[in-house]
Amino acid sequence: MRTIGFSTGALARGDFRKALQMMAGKNLSAVELSALRQDELRALVEQIETLDLTAFKYVSFHAPSSMEREFERQALQLLEQVAEIGWPIIVHPDAMYEPKEWARLGDRLWLENMDKRKPIGQTADHLTRFFEVLPEASLCFDIGHARQVDPTMSEASAILSRFADRIQQLHVSEVNSQSRHDRLSFESVLAFQRVSHLLPNNVPVILESRVEEAEIEEEINRACEALTPENQLALTGD
Amino acid sequence: MPETTSATSVTRGLLDVDPFRRYRDDSARTRTELDELLSKEIPAYASDDTSLVAFGSLARGEWTAGSDLDWTYLIDGQANSDHLRISQEIRKAFLKTKLQEPGQTGIFGNMAFSHDIVHQIGGQNDTNRNTTQRILLLLESQPIGTRTEAHERVLRAVINRYLEEDTHPLTQNSKAYRVPRFLLNDIVRFWRTMAVDFASKQRDRAGEGWGLRNAKLRMSRKLIFASGLLVCFNANLDRALQSEISTGKNDVKLKLASHIRNQLKSTPLEIVARSMEDYGVSAAVAKGLFSSYADFLNLLNDKSSRESLKNLRSEDSGTDAVFQKVRQFGSSFEQALSHIFFENPSVAPLTRKYGVF
């Protein structure tokens, strides 16, 4: 059984307590605490100690997806507190104004591949440039973003092959044409299965699909189906 | 098996010198200038859903004086009625450059939608225009400016579509990739369509432009066809690709798709040059091919020769001095290609197996 759970931002945007309530009793083993907007960061960091996360064997933390330049230093100070707990911190490459400064987070910094709306960070080549500056960083592979950038999944395959050793977490959801995270459609399940043989088995999966509480389990099942390799042998000569 | 004298240094050398270097630099400069012009006239003219794509000599790196400016506003996203307006603005901006407008067929200088290009391969709805856009997108297209995402997505989707239909991508012993037949057949079909359309245009346009079209058919259009065949054959001949074969069905196709995409990042001339190197084509053959192609480009770059070809009708071709040159270098070019495709020990067996039947 995979370590799998939801992002609090997907379930209840900035209301992380509500999201944790929605996840309670659903046998989820992972959670990602999200502060996707910069004004949510301080409140979440300051309340970490008050949260009951004992049900989860894996916790990660999502840094703001974008921020003002003036806020970057402050954000880093707050995120250092998260790094001290030992949780991985998921960061969008384009949210960093001074990537070198983010090396302060050491191996707790996990970069995420981006959707097509973002100016950088979508391809294996883009990501290589970031890892050159931040060699200790890992990768949170967002399969929905990769599919939106290239529905044939060639780019996903390139990222998965090139960064096999760096991938530490998966983000799973359907990313629609407006770059919003949606529930998994049959189309995205088919696409994800195309590269499922390249996905590491042992890394935690965080769903970013926007679902109602009643839909959580069904979405988890669909994600597991999407991430399971087909075990089909190559067709050979006729 | 390589032939006696390797072409390696010769082909590399031939593409790195004039006139090829000059025309390649001119193409790159023109694309940059067009981007600058459009960025000024229509800021953010492309987006993550749209790319402005150059075709023809501008894309192949063979830009000469008097070359047509062939372009398409490629759309891969939500339908939006503003797309037409943007493509009209692009056309208006390009008119100011005094560059030669695209030909009369309407294939270029217009919008194109990814859905038809990707989904309508074969069948009643795959029009002449759709086939042309699709194959040229694969074999000779270059996005203008920085918004290249839509172009890249559509190219990959087209390659993927061809491979999806090939149910047996590997040879019987699973040790090698087969030549992707669906893609190859479409490239062959496109070449034959161009040849048939040559006759059709002659009739429709009462012989107007015959000389120039004939020269292009003998040289640049044949080059595109040859490079397309070589890309298909390379799927079977590339040793590094064969060494990566695994047992996963999806993996097999993903690797082949990536390989084909990487191949198609090169211009047709570069594909032919690299093939000569890879398959050990002799230096003499390489020289024959590239010098005849250089003669062709130089002739097109000469205003009076180009004009003369444009005005030449078939009935006068026997006595026309410019056309005699076309015949001469056209024949050398064909001879060199024939050598590669019918005599080279690596390529010839594939030509026999896939080229006709």
Render pLDDT for B294-311 as a digit per residue (tens, 0 to 9).
999 999 999 999 999 999
Q: The CATH number of the domain where A59 resides is what?
A: 3.20.20.150
Beta strands, E only, chain B: 50-54, 71-75, 110-113, 142-144
Would the CB atoms of A154 and B248 count as touching at under 8 Å? no
B105 confidence band (pLDDT: 50, 70, 90): low
Residue with tokens 């429709």, as numbered in its chain: B204
B48: burial class by Cβ within 10 Å (0-12, 13-18, 19+)? buried
Residue A233 lies in a domain: no
Beta strands, E only, chain A: 4-7, 30-34, 58-62, 89-91, 109-112, 138-142, 167-172, 174-175, 181-182, 205-207
- The answer to whether residue A190 neighbours chain B at the CB level (below 8 Å) is no
A238 confidence band (pLDDT: 50, 70, 90): very low
- The answer to whether residue B250 neighbours chain A at the CB level (below 8 Å) is yes
pLDDT digit string, tens, across residues B253-277: 999 999 999 999 999 999 999 999 9
Q: What is the ipTM of this complex?
A: 0.74
- Which H/E stretch holds residue B24? helix B20-41
Residues B158, B138: contact at Cβ < 8 Å? yes
> How far off is chain B from A195, nearest CA to CA, in Å?
7
A6: helix, strand or coil? strand
pLDDT digit string, tens, across residues B15-34: 888 999 999 999 999 999 99
Per the structure, the count of domains in chain A is: 1
Rounded to 10°, the helix B321-343/B210-218 angle is 20
Would the CB atoms of B77 and A177 count as touching at under 8 Å? yes
- Give the pLDDT score at A145: 97
Two tokens, residue B346:
């690596």
**What would the mean pLDDT of A56-65 be, rounded to a whole number?**
97
Residue A192 lies in a domain: yes
Residue B1 lies in a domain: no
Residue B2 lies in a domain: no
Quote the domain boundaries for residue A156.
Answer: 4-227
Report the predicted TM-score, pTM, of the whole model to 2 decimal places.
Answer: 0.86
Residue B3 lies in a domain: no
CA quadruple A91, A97, A99, A103: dihedral positive or negative?
negative
CB-nearest to B78 from A177, A193, A234 is: A177
Dist. CA A145–CA A143, nearest whole Å: 5
Residue B293 lies in a domain: yes
- The answer to whether residue B149 neighbours chain A at the CB level (below 8 Å) is yes
Dist. CA B192–CA B132, nearest whole Å: 12
Quote the domain boundaries for residue B35.
Answer: 8-354
Residue B313 lies in a domain: yes
Strand A4-7 relative to strand A205-207, pairing: parallel
Residue A43 lies in a domain: yes
Residue A125 lies in a domain: yes
Residue to test with chain A: of B48, B50, B174, most A Cβ within 10 A? B48
Residue A126 lies in a domain: yes
Per the structure, the count of domains in chain B is: 1
